[in-house]
Structure 1
Amino acid sequence: MTTYVMLLNWTEQGVKNVRESPSRLDAGKKVLSDMGGSIKQFYLTMGEFDMVIVCEAPDDAVMARFALSLGMKGNVRTRTLKAFPEAAYREIINSLG
């Protein structure tokens, strides 16, 4: 599984209906689970982004479908980062020679 970090901001629609946000999170967890992935951690944040999600998916195509499915609902805008764990980081750096 590949790890991804999603940075989310509410849209005007999403913040207007913010009380529904916990149920939308639950629905999002189910959507990603049905695609073969999972949300590992969720954070409400202060600053440039409203929320941060750490999740896993089988591949980039699944993660892209998940991000697009969230965006289609109109409540959030996402930015997705592919994350390399420490072991992969060390391997990448060591391969530089």
Structure 2
Amino acid sequence: MTTYIVLVTWTEQGMKSVRESPRRLDAAKALLQEMGGSFQGFYLTMGAYDLVAICEAPDDAVAARFSLTLGAQGYVKTCTLKAFPEDAYREIIRSLG
């Protein structure tokens, strides 16, 4: 599985219905699980992003489909980052020569 960091901001529509956000989070977790992935962590944050999720998905296409599905609902905007674990980081740096 590949790890993705999903940076989330609420849209105006999302803020107007912020009290429903926990229900939408549960639905997002179920959706990602149906797609073969899972949430590894979830945080309410302060700063440029309102929420941060650490997710795993089988591949980039699943991660993209998940983020696009969330965005299409109109409550959030996402920025999805593919994350390389430390072992992969070290191998990438070693390969620089």
TM-score by length of 1: 0.99
Please give the residue correspondences for 1:1-97 in structure 2 after superposition, counting only pairs within 5 Å: 1-97=1-97
Distance 1:31 1:83 in 2: 21
* Structure 1 moving runs of 4+ over 6 Å: none
Cα shift readout 1:9-65 (whole Å, capped 9, x = no counterpart): 000000100000001000000000000000110000000000000000000000000
Distance 1:39 1:17 in 2: 23
Distance 2:41 2:15 in 1: 21
1:28 maps to amino acid: A
Gaps of 5+ in 2: none
TM-score by length of 2: 0.99
Q: Percent identity?
A: 69
SS in 2 for 1:36: coil
1:5 maps to amino acid: I
1:74 maps to amino acid: G
Aligned alpha-carbon RMSD (Å): 0.4
1:17 maps to amino acid: S
